[in-house]
């Protein structure tokens, strides 16, 4: 039986179901950031991260660098921290 060496081609990896990926932004270059504002003070100096919670809910976490407000937003509106924690627990 032949032994696989470092130059032996591998079988292709199976890919996960393809989801369209949003364009990458930049946290450091304002020209590459999508516009976002703080819901509390209106500042544009925010960090915004898009993610999917364990239950599949698509959310955005927004953190303000000026007033330090942190919020979780879903397509249905703002979420409380308690709601986010409930949605991230293993089923």
Say if 2 falls within a structural domain.
no
- Confidence at residue 37, expressed as pLDDT on a 0 to 100 scale: 85
- Contacts with 40 (C-beta within 8 Å, 6 or more apart), sequence order: 64, 67, 69, 71
- Look at residue 90 in the predicted model and tell me its pLDDT: 79
Each as own residue / partner, the long-range contacts of residues 71-74 (CB below 8 Å, 24 or more positions apart, any chain) are: 71/39, 71/40
Give residue 25's pLDDT: 58
Q: Is residue 17 in a domain?
A: no
Q: 18 in a domain, yes or no?
A: no
12-48 b/e with 16+ CB inside 10 Å = b?
eeeeeeeeeeeeeeeeeeeeeeeebebeeeeeeebeb
Beta bridge partners of 73: 60, 78
Our measurement of the distance from residue 59's CA atom to the centroid of its chain's CA atoms, rounded to an integer in Å, reads 8
Domain total in the chain: 1
Tens digit of pLDDT for each residue in 24-78?
A: 655 555 555 567 788 899 998 998 889 999 999 999 999 999 999 999 999 999 9
What's the mean pLDDT in 6-10?
Answer: 69
Q: Is the pLDDT of residue 20 over 90?
A: no
The C-alpha atoms of residue 71 and residue 48 are separated, in whole angstroms, by 10
**Residue 21's pLDDT is what?**
66
Domain containing 37: what range?
30-88
């Amino acid at each position: 039986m032949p032994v696989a060496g470092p130059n032996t081609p591998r079988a292709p990896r199976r890919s996960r179901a393809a989801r369209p990926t949003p364009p990458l932004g930049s946290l450091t270059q304002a020209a590459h950031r999508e516009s976002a504002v703080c819901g509390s003070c209106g500042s544009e100096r925010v960090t915004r991260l898009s993610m999917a919670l364990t239950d599949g809910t698509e959310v955005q976490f927004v953190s303000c660098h000026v007033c330090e407000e942190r919020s979780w937003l879903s397509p249905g509106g703002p979420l409380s921290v308690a709601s986010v924690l409930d949605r991230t627990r293993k089923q």
